[in-house]
Chain A
């Protein structure tokens, strides 16, 4: 589903991403972990055609990122870290627009919006504006936006940040169901390591723009002799930090 080689992104003098390889197979739920500023969002924006990599190559959902960005866009869904719905438009209307931009006719778009709103426990809120939704409702609405066109590959940038434990567990259920029922491949970032442990088949840890570890949560814990993913994370990203300070 994702094959990236040597991706880099430089903003002026900031090397946000410094040559990373990513391989994700169809049907996997992969967690992309790393401290603030590690380069997670930058990587996601490159893989979703929003940002042109400084160098490197990638195939996403079967299409070359550079040669066929439209082919990529048709097949992926993206939920940005900062949300994607304006505060003053009715969410139902925005969702219908989004579905129609993927080629659905109006009745089909309406039906799809209604189905997803119901599935994400947002039924009845379609006439509300995003400004009037609670944080959790708003985040679920963002996710609905990314799912309208039934993408085979879904990018979620910190989908559960700011949600209460209940809503978070709920969202995990949704993600699992997407994978189990619809075969959707999910690539998500999170700062909650127990979430990555519980939800993800595999995790990649990025620090200072480089992948510092990858494997199943169990493999990583075994390799670092750690009891939790938290310990793995601190050991790996802390080490990079110390080396960075020494260099």
Chain B
């Protein structure tokens, strides 16, 4: 437990040393918020209350999906081996990083939400807080999978491959434009991807309908996702780097 706190604290200090990197990590949803949000708001498709949850999901998927890149350098410079010969368990080595990532994500998500309020978001505070919690849970699963992928895939392929996987999942979730607009085939495909349910739960929370089936499904899918993500990540960390 104390090793986990030590590791997480160490990684957090390292990350927040560069505030620029924390902001830059959220630059894509930020640009959508500021340069696309005003259009979206007047498009008749939906309001800020529809867009902001989608952008939070985009943040949770895309930036968490890429965190694995950080471990590539640790692996190359022998830092990972150094940590592996200490008596710290592999799960802790993974969790230390993932918890750091979720704190960074939460900070970024709060930033986007606050700017969203300034631009015209009107969601109830309770719904927003629950929504942030849901996004954080999802991002933990995504980050764990990202590390597992980074330790498996050749490093030069990692960013391209992750984008190829994550961007379609993000688009299919209806994060940018609600899937209610989709033709039937796209809607069907979208229902086969996990984040569709998370986005709808997020929008329901932002709309203040806490007891809706959308929220229930979103929570169930997100919990399953985080369990699977952590399991895969731990397995990959436990495996020797043979």
Using CB atoms and an 8 Å cutoff, list the residues of chain A in contact with chain B.
Answer: 11, 48-52, 70, 73-74, 76, 78, 80, 82-87, 89, 93-94, 97-98, 100-103, 145
Contact = CB atoms under 8 A, between A and B. Distances in A.
Interface string B87-128: 110000000000000000000000000000000000000000
A84 B82 contact: yes
B6 A101 contact: yes
11 contacts: A48-B85, A83-B77, A84-B79, A84-B81, A85-B82, A86-B74, A86-B79, A87-B73, A93-B13, A101-B3, A101-B86
B6 A97 contact: yes
Contacts of B79: 84-86, 94
Contacts of A87: 73, 77
Given A82-B78, A83-B77, A83-B78, A101 B83 contact: yes
B242 A51 contact: yes
A101 B74 contact: no
Contacts of B191: none
A224 B118 CA distance: 84
Given A101-B3, A101-B6, A73 B85 contact: yes
A89 B82 contact: no
Contacts of B85: 48-50, 73, 76, 78
A101 B6 CA distance: 7
Closest 7 CB pairs of A and B: A84-B82, A84-B78, A101-B86, A73-B87, A74-B87, A86-B77, A100-B6
A50 B240 contact: yes
B52 interface: no
Contact of B7 (A52, A82, A101, A102): A101
A184 B8 CA distance: 32
* Interface band, chain B: 20 to 34
- Which secondary structure dominates where chain B touches chain A? helix
Contact of B73 (A48, A52, A86, A101): A86
Contact of B82 (A52, A80, A100): A80
Contacts of A80: 78, 81-82
A52 B81 CA distance: 14
Contact of A50 (B2, B81, B87): B81
Interface string B53-81: 00000000000000000000110011101
A100 B84 CA distance: 14
Nearest to A101: B86
Contacts of B14: 89
Contacts of B82: 78, 80, 84-85, 98, 145
B220 to A, nearest CB: 36
A51 B86 contact: no
Contacts of B88: 101
Contacts of A97: 6-7, 10
| Residue among B81, B240, B241 having the largest count of chain A Cβ atoms under 10 Å | B81
Given A49-B84, A78-B85, A86-B73, 8 more contacts: A49-B85, A50-B85, A50-B240, A52-B242, A74-B87, A85-B78, A86-B77, A97-B7
Contacts of B84: 49-50
Given A51-B242, A97-B10, A84 B86 contact: no
Nearest to A70: B87
A84 B77 contact: yes
A82 B242 CA distance: 16
A100 B88 CA distance: 10
A16 to B, nearest CB: 11
A89 B73 CA distance: 12
Nearest to B92: A101
Contacts of A85: 77-79, 82
Nearest to B78: A84
B5 to A, nearest CB: 10
B7 to A, nearest CB: 7
A188 to B, nearest CB: 16
A89 B10 CA distance: 11
A73 B14 CA distance: 26
Nearest to B86: A101
Interface string B1-40: 0110011001001100000000000000000000000000
Contacts of A49: 84-85
